[in-house]
Amino acid sequence: MGDFGVIADVSTIIVETLKQALRGLSQAEPPTAELNDLSETVTTPPPKLTVFLYEICEDPTSRNRPPVRSQPPDPLTTRKPPMALLLRYLITPWGGDPETQHRMLGRALQTFYDDAILDGTQLTGSLAASTDSLHVTLTSLTLDQKSWVWYAIQKPYRISLNYEVRVVNLDAVAEVPVRPVQNRIIDGASAP
């Protein structure tokens, strides 16, 4: 069940997954990962992979799902199906030499290739103990599209990875009571 904090929870899961993957990459200055909106200068050392959420949109493949019904013994209610979100992240290396930055990118690629579906105990926050799963996919953007992202945040272009995370379910809040049928009348006389 994803409450209003589900977007922050997914970002935290991505950062923690990358932190785990970067451990042991270098003995001198172990790199780390952090959530960053790139509005300020990224402080190094240590070398870092920044995780920047740059777009949130509705996942078109998950539209038109049926309403959600409450389970007995609760009073019967229905609510809209969860809003299915698609989150797009920019993962960028900072600090260290170019070789270290390339290793960090390689480790990120390896991590999300080996474990492209995050579920079960990997999920924390409002997603903990849920049956949800997050599908992490490397997306290819043209050089123009990548440049537009960097231009929008007013930073010079840097080599980076673009990932999509889907389906992030944001639960609806408003519930509508369902009243049970009290009686029904079947009129067989009007049949032809």
Which residues of the chain register pLDDT less than 50?
A: none
Decide: pTM greater than 0.85. no
Query: pLDDT value at position 2?
Result: 66
Is 188 a domain residue?
A: no
In a domain, 192, yes or no: no
85 closest CA partner among 174, 173, 1, 7? 7
Q: How far is CA 89 from CA 14, 49, 96, 183, in A?
A: 9, 12, 22, 54
Q: Check if the beta carbon of residue 125 is closer than 8 Å to that of residue 7.
A: no
The alpha-helical segments, DSSP class H, found in 49-142 are 98-114
> CA-based angle 56:58:63, to the nearest 5?
165
Total residue length of the chain = 192
Which residues are 69's β-sheet partners? 78
pLDDT at 28 (0 to 100): 74
Q: Is 184 among the domain residues?
A: no
Q: What domain range includes position 90?
A: 6-174
Residue 26 lies in a domain: yes
Residue 179 is assigned to a structural domain of this protein: no
Assess if residue 112 is contained within a domain: yes
Q: Is residue 128 part of a domain?
A: yes
Task: Specify the pLDDT at position 15.
Answer: 93
Distance between CA atoms of 181 and 70, rounded to whole angstroms? Answer: 17
For residue 191, the model assigns a pLDDT of: 56
List the Cα angle 124/130/135 in 5-degree steps: 75
Give the per-residue pLDDT at 70.
72
With left for phi above 0 and alpha for psi between -120 and 50, is residue 153 left, alpha or beta?
alpha
Number of domains in the chain: 1
**Do 48 and 34 form a contact (C-beta atoms < 8 A)?**
yes
Query: In CATH, what number is assigned to the domain containing residue 46?
Result: 3.30.2000
Model pLDDT, residue 190: 61
Q: Cα(47)–Cα(96) distance, rounded to whole angstroms?
A: 5
What is the rounded CA–CA span in Å between residue 23 and residue 5? 27
